[in-house]
Structure 1
Amino acid sequence: MNRIAAVALAALVTMATLSVAVVGGAAGATQPSESNAMTAQNATADGYVGTHVAFETSSNSLVDYRVGGEEVFENVTVASQSDHQSRTGLGADAELSAVANLAGLGLEIDARSQTRADVATDGSASLSAHDTERGILTVDAGGEEQYVELNLSGESNASASEEDDRVLVETENRTGVLVVAGDGDVAVNENGDVTADLAGDSTLVFRSYADGERDDDAVEQERLIAEGTATAEVYADEVDGERVADVATYGHDTTVEASAEAEERLEMTVERAESEGKVVIVSVSEAALEAVGSAEDLAVTVDGEAAAEASSYGELEGGIGEEPRYMVTSSSEASAAADVLVAVDHFSERNVAVQSADDVEDGDGEDDSVPGFGATAALVAALLGIGARIRQ
């Protein structure tokens, strides 16, 4: 009995160590502790340097926003529409292309973690920079109407996309896309920079891709975001040997909690105040995918039941209101990373797991334990409260 107890104790210590590592990556996304705040590489009081994203701040702007080492924006500035119109005499019906030279709301970095930096403003707006391969930047208008101005770097240029509701920002090695989730618009202004008009509770979303990676799947994902069908994006990666997770939310009343993560499985709880189903995009980096083997090996369960695999975006969206469905795509031929799009048929709270198809076929999807560690691990995970609740 003593030997069994010793083995059990060792297992608990091992799982506690693993759980702390997961919490450092996931839980730090919204309310990082003092130690988590220091995990961002070379973070300073007025800036952020992560694995993929870096920027500085001034009193009223994000400055020198970089993705993959390339400067995309010299400045990102947010201003209340009413304040800007009052200051400049610009009418509410003026063309968006005429909006430029925003004074900007005061801002400061509110929280940092290994996977993101949150920036608060003097108004209702907030910004979040997500340290992902796509360099995701979101500007949430909050309850008030906002203008956002994004001044391009000397190496960037902007143009309207073929899809009309998006603006492309191209640098030497990347293509970025700006799209509004909710009510609003985005356009190239008279200075050759980019301006967005956001209604209350709308979000400006920036995603970028390395050369050749903005394929048809990326364009479809942007459409889902613009139409309000995809309301969250979960990013799973491995940094310095540790698994980390981050969540970017593109719609209000959506909560995603990365509740547990083992090598073979990424679990999350998706909750909405409204019952209408939505799509969650799960981006799995090449490093995080190695435990499974390939994109073709992935499958999805919702509330422990296997979701149906869709072969097209139309079929995927058809699952909303009908049955949970998923679709797996690879970001490019040159990368082993994958995107898993999960259409949740209805809400309010659903448990979603992305894992090896073999585990789903073996019935592991209905097991409440963390795969590979059993019931004891699940108990430790519950006691330690693994997870990050990201609310917007």
Structure 2
Amino acid sequence: MYRITAIALAALLMTATLPAAAIGGVAGAGPQESSQSMAADGDAYAGTHVAFETSNTAVTNYSVGGEAVFENVSVDSQSDHESETGIGSSSGLSAVTNVSGLGLTIDAQTETRVKIASEGSASMSAHDTERGILTVDAGSESQYVEATLAEGANATAESDGNAVVVESENRSGAFVIAGDGEVDVNDEGDVTAELGSNSTLVFRSYDEGERDEAAKEQERLIANGTATAEVYADHRDGERVADVATYGEDIAVETKAESEERLEMTAERAQREGTVIIATVSETAIDGAESADDLEVTVDGEAAAEASSYSELEGAIGGDQSRYMVTQSGEADASADVLIAVNHFSERDVAVQPASADGGALGDSVPGFGVGVSVVTLVSAAAARVRS
């Protein structure tokens, strides 16, 4: 049996004037009071990037960047839906329509994340980032999910079967499944998904032109279980906020604010196998670096190898050396995506930071890209806190 480990990822903020209170909570952290840029009122939520409402049985009027994406999103256990409608699993996903939905309530909220609980084992999480991530976690039971599109939007299943793409006036988005399941377009033109237990339906939204080949590769890594966590760092009204989305039941990520210069996250896995962490840093976090090409990654104080292809990146998992890639979605997007393939989960220190002028690794005191990520294993603490 694999040993359970806890890993602390620290984002090193090089701007000394940034107050500690500016560091927002992330997935796994306890509920926090919203910032002024966000509001939650009863069963309605309005954030910086994402807004939605909840009815008794669905998330309704889900919008990203001010543009409506879904009229409603509902989830119901497969057994209940098949019993109510008389359809069987052999009918196919295209026949799954009018999912009645489990009762939903806003359960917990941090500065960048809202968790929505259901009356069954399923839950949803909405992430208030530019990517507008919405996840549906099946929990212990198999589920059907139906997303009714907003007016003017349309959905298309990609030929490779990995994703369903939703196109609206100025945005596009993609549904993929992390774990067991299938996603498709039903007979009414909406999106339906069949989720096996402990699987996750993931929706990621993009501004016009952002869903490029790099974005599609990230979707593929999520769908095949290689990428299990996505970190997003941003500034809002001069304050630092961060978010983590996790894809799957075997990883949990929690942030801590311990100083003005550090944003720490604890990641726990119930297995030793490595994984890819997608770290997206917004434009305001890279003022100290001339370009995303200035970034480098170190593991246990040694420079990680830069991967020249996605196959090389994935090949690092289980190998002798961790690897990383840095990508950007077009010239207009100043944010950078750092894909870190941690080769295995034992006692590791991983850092993402600007490269020095001579190409060597930098320490905490050197200004630059503005964000670093370090990994430290805390085996004893994890054993006390995580059930096998």
TM > 0.5 fold call = yes
Residue 83 of structure 2 aligns to a residue in which SS? helix
Alpha-carbon distance in structure 2 between the residues aligned to 1:21 and 1:28: 16
Is the contact between residue 126 and residue 132 of structure 2 (CA under 8 Å) also seen in structure 1? yes
1:104-253 → structure 2 map (5 Å cutoff):
104-253=101-250
Change (3 A) 1:53 1:370: farther
Aligned residue in 2 for 1:18:
19
The alignment-based identity, stated in percent, is: 61
Q: Which moved more, 1:259-268 or 1:205-214?
A: 259-268
Query: Number of residues paired by the alignment?
Result: 353
SS in 2 for 1:292: coil
> In structure 2, the residue corresponding to 1:219 is in which secondary structure?
helix
Q: CA 1:310 to 1:28, structure 2 compared with 1: closer, same or farther past 3 Å?
A: closer
Structure 1: distance between partners of 2:220 and 2:241: 27
8 Å CA contact retained: 1:29, 1:112: no
> 1:164/1:202 Cα in 2 relative to 1: closer, same or farther (>3 Å)?
same
User: For each residue in 1:179-222, what CA deviation from the matched residue of structure 2 results, as whole angstroms up to 9, or x when unmatched?
Assistant: 11100000000111010000000000000111111111111111
Q: Which runs of 5+ in 1 are unaligned?
A: 1-13, 373-390
Task: Say if 1:198 and 1:166 are closer, same or farther in 2 by CA, change over 3 A.
Answer: same
Alpha-carbon offset, residue 72 of structure 1? 0.4
CA distance in 2, matches of 1:229, 1:357: 27
In 2, Cα distance between equivalents of 1:90 and 1:239: 48
In the alignment, which residue of structure 2 is the partner of 1:378?
none
Which structure is higher in helix share? 1
CA distance in 2, matches of 1:370, 1:266: 15
Match of 1:95 in 2: 92
The separation in 2 between residues aligned to 1:113 and 1:239, in whole angstroms, is 14
Supply the AA of the counterpart residue of 1:210. D
Select which of 317, 321, 340 maps to 1:342: 340
The amino acid that maps onto 1:232 is A
Q: Which residue matches 1:32?
A: 31
Q: Deviations over 1:354-376 (max 9, x none)?
A: 211229955545xxx6767xxxx
Q: Bigger shift: 344-353 or 195-204?
A: 344-353
**Distance in 2 between the 1:360 and 1:347 partners?**
30
One-letter amino acid of the structure 1 residue matched with residue 151 of structure 2? G
Report if aligned partners of 2:141, 2:197 keep a CA contact under 8 Å in 1: yes
Distance in 2 (CA, whole Å) between partners of 1:321 and 1:221 is 19
Aligned partners of 1:38, 1:214: CA distance in 2, in Å? 29
CA positional deviation for 1:19 = 2.1
Asked if the contact 2:28–2:252 (Cα under 8 Å) also holds between the matched residues in 1, the reply is no
Contact 2:296–2:361 under 8 Å retained in 1: no
- In 1, are the aligned partners of 2:29 and 2:255 still within 8 Å (CA)? no
Which segment drifts farther, 160-169 or 143-152?
A: 160-169
1:356 corresponds, among 332, 341, 354, to 354
The answer for the alignment partner of 2:289 in structure 1 is: 292
Deviation of residue 352 (structure 1)? 3.2
Distance 1:140 1:84, change over 3 A: same
Shift of 1:331: 1.4
More deviation, 290-299/140-149: 290-299
Instruction: Identify the residue that residue 328 of structure 1 maps to in structure 2.
Output: 326
Q: Distance in 2 between matches of 1:261 and 1:292?
A: 25
1:93 match: secondary structure = helix
SS of 2:232's equivalent in the other structure is strand
The CA distance in 1 between the partners of 2:75 and 2:41, in whole Å, is 22
- Secondary structure in structure 2 of the residue aligned to 1:311: coil
2:371 — aligned with what? none
Q: Is the 8 A contact 1:316 1:326 kept in 2?
A: yes
Amino acid at match of 1:51: T
**Residue range with higher mean Cα deviation, 49-58 or 355-364:** 355-364
Contact kept, 8 Å, 2:272 with 2:345, in 1: the verdict is yes
Distance 1:298 1:201, change over 3 A: same
So what's the TM-score if we normalise by structure 2?
Answer: 0.84
Give deviations 1:94-118, integer Å, cap 9, x for gaps: 2111001011100100112221111
Higher RCO structure, 1 or 2 (CA under 8 Å, sep 6+): 2
TM-score, normalised via structure 1 length = 0.84
Tell me the C-alpha RMSD between the 2 structures: 2.5
* 1:72-102 Cα shifts (integer Å, max 9, x gaps): 0000000010011111111122211100101
Could you tell me how far apart the structure 2 residues matched to 1:243 and 1:20 are? 8
